[in-house]
Amino acid sequence: MRIVFAGTPEFAVPSLRVAAARGDVVAVYTQPDRPAGRGRGLAASPVKLEAQRLGLPVLQPQSLRTVEARRQLRELAPDLMVVVAYGLLLPPKVLSIPTHGCWNVHASLLPRWRGAAPIQRAIEAGDAETGVCLMRMEQGLDTGPVLLSQATPIGADETGGQLHARLAELGAQVLGDGLALLRAGMSPEPKPQPEEGASYARKLEKSEARLDWRQPAEALARKVRAFSPWPVAEGEVAGELLRIHGATALPLAHAAAPGTVLVAGRGGIDVACGEGALRIRSLQRPGGKVITAADYLNARRDLAGAR
């Protein structure tokens, strides 16, 4: 079976390994190299680096909308195109080129959390579970019929980065199951997505990272988890804007104004919220490294031991 793989970030790497395990991948599409790091030099995507390690040919078109891009894909004579967080839209003329169409590994239980940031939005919303879907692509945004799916609970303290890593491996597993069925001549049965329960996971924005202490502590704690490791939640604490890497919601009754430091000790810094309090356990000062709340209080004697 001739497979063309399209993906860009680290999330797609486990799926690439599964697709390439039997030597079926004839080409790997990934986005063009982008400036990165302090020097802003061009950097290859994680998928490109893995494809090169596996000895697979890499293609990096700016777009798949051109006649030349479609011609190049047709010449590869793909039986199937596997798309995992590629980042470029596939026009209808591209979707129809592979014999068995295009499959997509998506990190949610569709139709919930269609779109760019399903992992973070699931944590932010307080979902008890999420999962992955293997979907047959069509023109709409993550609206195609689901071929296979696998659910998994979201841990009470799980961050966006931790869940991202787990779902990347789970997605590769589901893709492997689908490929095994297709190779055996038993293509997975496509099941249309229900209209009920559809939601959109909009792209993460840096502006969302600022915590509003007027919100309930539970909501803020979920945001801290969801936005780790990027864009990282931040909030003003005793006059200083801090990046907050670890925090826990406390069901604490108080009459203080939101944003007030209630308690500051080795266990953390408790900040009053609209409901309850947020205990900050690890944080980062501007230009500094991630430290514990206890280490931070060594430099903020004005807060240490506050009641």
The verdict on 180 and 289 lying in the same domain is no
CA-CA distance, 84 to 107, in Å (whole number)?
10
User: Which candidate, 192, 259, 256, 248, places its Cα nearest to that of 222?
Assistant: 248
Whether residues 152 and 210 share a domain: the answer is no
285 and 160 in one domain? no
Q: What is the mean pLDDT of residues 207-216?
A: 97
Is 21 a domain residue?
Answer: yes
pTM above the 0.75 mark? yes
134 has pLDDT over 60 = yes
- At residue 281, does pLDDT exceed 80? yes
Residue 186 has pLDDT above 80, yes or no: yes
pLDDT score at 307: 54
Annotated binding-site ranges: 108-111
3-state SS class at 255: coil
pLDDT of residue 301: 82
Binding residues for (6S)-5,6,7,8-tetrahydrofolate: 108-111
Dihedrals phi, psi of 56, to nearest 5 degrees: -100, 145
Q: What is the pLDDT of residue 43?
A: 94
In the prediction, which pLDDT does 89 show? 86
Q: pLDDT tens across 34-74, in order?
A: 988 777 788 999 999 999 999 999 999 999 999 999 999 99
Query: What is the pLDDT confidence band of residue 182, given thresholds at 50, 70 and 90?
Result: very high
Could you say which of 134, 166, 201 is where a domain stops? Answer: 201
pLDDT tens digits, residue range 288-305?
Answer: 999 999 999 998 888 865
| CA pair distance 47, 156, nearest whole angstrom | 30
Two tokens, residue 272: 């009053």
The tally of CA atoms less than 13 A away on the side-chain side of residue 280 is: 35
- pLDDT for 306 beyond 60: no
Domains in the chain: how many in total?
Answer: 2
At 267, which CATH number?
A: 3.10.25.10
CA distance 188 to 194: 18
CA distance 24 to 103: 15
Supply the range of the domain harboring residue 19.
3-201
Share of the chain above pLDDT 70, in %: 99
DSSP-derived pairing of the beta strands 114-115 and 200-201: parallel
